Amino acid sequence: MDLTIIYDNTAFDPRLGAGWGFSCLVACGEATVLFDTGADGDLLLSNMEKLCIRPGSVDYVFISHLHLDHVGGLASFRAVNRDAKVYFPDTAPNRAKHKMIALREQQRLLPGMYTTGILEGIEQSLLVWTSRGWVVISGCAHPGVGRILQAAAGLGDIRALIGGLHDFQKFELVRGLELICPTHCTMYDDQLRNLFPQKCIQGGAGRRLVLD
């Protein structure tokens, strides 16, 4: 799995812009998935260009939840890539359009890739298989990190947690993970880095993670 953060509250790569929201590109096998689209489509596409990521190379878009800071860039992205299928949470009626697929339950999306399904009626997370377990990618973790990890654990061992963790403070829940990368709305990222300095790494636009 090859993951690059494109949009975040901070910029890991100084060439890139930062803005409130989250988006990352996930390459798994032969599929390329854009997870969320940030709030601003212009910033999303600008960062993609600086990272040499062609919008047309994206096969799928996965929307974690329908808050503006995660879906605001979708229209701009679809203006330059009409072929990518869009997976979005089925929490609002009559949202489906051309090549948009509503998701509700936990299910397999692609080889080595699942959705947790909508948890607590608001948000889904993406699960990506690697050789040493599942990587959980979270938009904001509104349902709670514990609830998300519980849903993921039904499929097997969890290796890593990446993304927005909101007000998560039950730090013992992630003690056994190999890697944690808090981004976006995480309120207690300093505490996570202090508690787990060997496995908690900085996020930010431009950060790349490769997990075999």
CATH number at residue 141: 3.60.15.10
Task: Quote the DSSP letter at residue 204.
Answer: -
Residue 64 is predicted with a pLDDT of 98
Residue 212 lies in a domain: no
Which tokens in the block code for residue 68? 């503006």
User: What number of helices (H) and strands (E) belong to the chain?
Assistant: 5, 13
State which amino acid sits at residue 108. R
Q: How confident is the model at residue 96 (pLDDT cuts 50, 70, 90)?
A: low
Residue 121 scores a pLDDT above 80:
yes
pLDDT band at 92 (very low <50, low <70, confident <90, very high): low
Global pTM value: 0.96
Q: How many domains does the chain have?
A: 1
The DSSP result for 129-161, as a single string, is: EETTEEEEEESS-TT-HHHHHHHHHTTS-EEEE
Read off the tokens for 114: 């699942």
- Total Cβ atoms within 10 A of residue 212: 7
Taking only Cα atoms into account, the Rg of the chain, rounded to an integer number of angstroms, comes to 16
Per-residue pLDDT reduced to its tens digit, 15-46: 999 999 999 999 998 899 999 999 999 999 99
Q: Is residue 7 within 8 Å of residue 37, measured between CB atoms?
A: yes
Is the pLDDT at 207 greater than 80? The verdict is yes
Does 44 reside within a domain? yes
Domain that holds residue 184: 2-207
Residue 169 is assigned to a structural domain of this protein: yes
3-state secondary structure of 176: coil
Segment 55-84 shows an average pLDDT of 97
| Residue 97 in this model has a pLDDT that exceeds 80 | no
